[in-house]
A and B are shown apart, each in its own frame.
Chain A
Amino acid sequence: MTSPGWTWSFLSNALEHAILPAFTIVLTSVAGWMLQMRNVMITTISEDYVIAAQAKGLSRRRIIFTYAARNALLPQLQGFGLALGFVVSGALIMEIVFSYPGIGYLLLEAVQNKDFPLMQAIFLVITFAVLVANLVVDLIIVFFDPRARTREAA
């Protein structure tokens, strides 16, 4: 059992044990995002600029990726911001099932031991991480959607 720290032995150990829980989370979450993207794509494909792209005789690849998908991504990004925040709050159930000592597990123990200071600290960290994640996503949105750049100036 390696002691926690910024050492390679610890990090690699953590990563190795994280493979299964991470895989489970990905497997169960991917479908939701796929369905949402599909729905948004269906709406986007009937937009005039996609028809215009077809009229221009562009390759299918160009139409699907640069014209349709890049626009379909934008509403998804909003949800991504919130999801990112929740990721940081710890996939509690996964951690319990896989006995992975993450922050969710720690919070659970704190609650069970009525360790209030620890609970407060964890909660502060989590909320802070959620806010940072939201900020990062807002910046990403500005990068991807040129219309968002000028909205403030308008």
Chain B
Amino acid sequence: MKSLANIWRNLPLKAKIGVGLFGFFVLAGIIGPMVAPYDPSLQTPLTMAGPSGQHWFGTTQEGQDILSQVLTGIRLTLELALEVGVIVTVVSVLVGVTSAFLGGLWDDILSLITNVFLVLPPLPLLIVLLGYLSQQGQTATVVVLSLLGWPWGARVIRAQTLAIRGRDFIDASRETGEKNWRIIVFELIPNEISLIAASFVNTVLYAIGASVALAFVGLTNVNSWSLGTILFWAQTDSALQAGAWWWFVPAGLAVALIGTSLVLLNSGLDELGSPRLRATRGTAKVAGHKIWPTDPTPVLAQLQSSRSRFGSFVYSFSRRSMLEGNAAGGDL
């Protein structure tokens, strides 16, 4: 628990915003359908109506309540994306770690499979596969997305595992006779946690984008209310031309915000995993001044003199100036 609190404290602001935003959507996904005022498929005579007290987000051409649709959609989209994320992460870690750790023929075979899948362009393949598959439910989408998403993570994890594998502590574990799988689970993977986490977040991001794209094109079940389906119906019923902005804006905004929150989250993870990124983060603050990495090393005396008289006076009361040994009140 303490390390979690530590991690939270060290996260940059943008990552905290990302976590908060994503948490909000997860919450919305959990309780959404339960608090939705109407059944999303329920058709009412109040068609193409703008936002009102009765329908916060307005209605569609069939008079369906958009708020309920969006709430249901968030849950469905998140469910799908998280499922894909978990499957892909498990598969890519398995493949990546195994191929790097075992090496030799295994490595060659698994790398070949990975590379083949990597080169295939995903969207056309998705379209074709879904076209072939008779059943177009959620499961099919999850399967197809997972099938196409795992090579990326596998390649990155393999590269990282290769780098770690060469390090001494792995050899030391081998010498003491630890079984291979124990080494993998207890020594190797803990060192790659941040990479795996980043890969997971990236996969979820990709799954959201791809599933919305597929739904928008009409290749998934158009009767289940995911966020992409809402946009599909908005497109089909010419919402844009009719000026019914309330139809596609909430759904589109939800997708954009979920995506943004994931990206922000990922940037925080990036900096957690790579100490150099954390340490530099572009400009650094030294003695209260912003210093670029390529600036000459700052000299304390010069920094202090660049403060105005009033600034120095105010600064002299700060705790930091006390640490530097200056009397309060400064030179006055």
Q: Which residues of A contact B (CB under 8 A)?
A: 35, 38-39, 42-43, 45-46, 50, 54, 60, 63-64, 82, 85-86, 88-90, 92-93, 96-97, 104, 107-108, 111-112, 114, 119, 122-123, 126-127, 130-131, 134
> How many angstroms from the CA of A33 to the CA of B280 in the assembled complex?
20
Are A42 and B276 in contact, with the CB atoms below 8 A? yes
What residues of chain B lie closer than 8 Å to A43, measured between beta carbons?
274, 276-277
Are B123 and A104 in contact, with the CB atoms below 8 A? yes
Complex A-B, nearest 5 residue pairs according to Cβ-Cβ distance, in ascending order: A111-B131, A89-B121, A45-B293, A111-B127, A89-B124
Which candidate, B24-32, B211-219, B303-311, is the interface stretch facing chain A? B211-219
> How many angstroms from the CA of A104 to the CA of B127 in the assembled complex?
10
What residues of chain B lie closer than 8 Å to A45, measured between beta carbons?
280, 293-294
Determine how close the nearest CB of chain B comes to the CB of A37; give it in whole angstroms.
13
Partner of A46, one of B127, B267, B270, B276: B276
Are B280 and A131 in contact, with the CB atoms below 8 A? no
What residues of chain B lie closer than 8 Å to A114, measured between beta carbons?
131
Interface-centre pick from A42, A54, A130 (highest chain B CB count, 10 A): A42
A and B contact pairs by CB, cutoff 8 A, 24 listed? A38-B282, A43-B277, A45-B294, A46-B276, A46-B280, A46-B293, A85-B119, A86-B122, A89-B121, A89-B123, A90-B123, A92-B213, A93-B213, A97-B235, A104-B123, A111-B219, A119-B131, A122-B124, A123-B124, A123-B125, A126-B124, A127-B121, A130-B120, A134-B119
Minimum CB distance partner of A32 in chain B: B263
Are B217 and A96 in contact, with the CB atoms below 8 A? yes
Q: Enumerate B267-314 residues with CB–CB distance to A below 8 Å.
A: 267, 270, 274, 276-277, 280-282, 293-294
Determine how close the nearest CB of chain B comes to the CB of A63; give it in whole angstroms.
7
What residues of chain B lie closer than 8 Å to A90, measured between beta carbons?
123-124
- What total count of A-B pairs have CB within 8 Å? 79
Determine how close the nearest CB of chain B comes to the CB of A22; give it in whole angstroms.
17
Q: Which residues of B contact A (CB under 8 A)?
A: 118-125, 127-128, 130-131, 213, 216-217, 219, 235, 267, 270, 274, 276-277, 280-282, 293-294
What residues of chain B lie closer than 8 Å to A54, measured between beta carbons?
294
Minimum CB distance partner of B126 in chain A: A92
Determine how close the nearest CB of chain A comes to the CB of B89; give it in whole angstroms.
20
What residues of chain B lie closer than 8 Å to A82, measured between beta carbons?
118-119
What residues of chain A lie closer than 8 Å to B124, measured between beta carbons?
89-90, 92, 104, 107, 122-123, 126
What residues of chain B lie closer than 8 Å to A88, measured between beta carbons?
121
> How many angstroms from the CA of A126 to the CA of B121 in the assembled complex?
8
Minimum CB distance partner of A115 in chain B: B131
What residues of chain B lie closer than 8 Å to A63, measured between beta carbons?
294
What residues of chain A lie closer than 8 Å to B217, measured between beta carbons?
92-93, 96, 108
> How many angstroms from the CA of A104 to the CA of B120 in the assembled complex?
15
> How many angstroms from the CA of A60 to the CA of B293 in the assembled complex?
12
> How many angstroms from the CA of A86 to the CA of B119 in the assembled complex?
9
Known: A46-B276, A54-B294. A111 touches B123 (CB 8 A): no
What residues of chain B lie closer than 8 Å to A107, measured between beta carbons?
124, 127-128
Minimum CB distance partner of A50 in chain B: B294
Determine how close the nearest CB of chain B comes to the CB of A52; give it in whole angstroms.
13
Are A42 and B280 in contact, with the CB atoms below 8 A? yes
> How many angstroms from the CA of A130 to the CA of B276 in the assembled complex?
35
Determine how close the nearest CB of chain A comes to the CB of B76; give it in whole angstroms.
19
Known: A92-B127, A122-B124. A39 touches B119 (CB 8 A): no
Minimum CB distance partner of A125 in chain B: B124
Determine how close the nearest CB of chain B comes to the CB of A113; give it in whole angstroms.
10
Determine how close the nearest CB of chain B comes to the CB of A50; give it in whole angstroms.
8
What residues of chain A lie closer than 8 Å to B267, measured between beta carbons?
35
Known: A42-B276, A86-B121, A127-B121. A108 touches B294 (CB 8 A): no
Are B294 and A127 in contact, with the CB atoms below 8 A? no
> How many angstroms from the CA of A107 to the CA of B131 in the assembled complex?
10
Are A108 and B118 in contact, with the CB atoms below 8 A? no
Minimum CB distance partner of B131 in chain A: A111
Known: A43-B276, A45-B293. A92 touches B123 (CB 8 A): yes
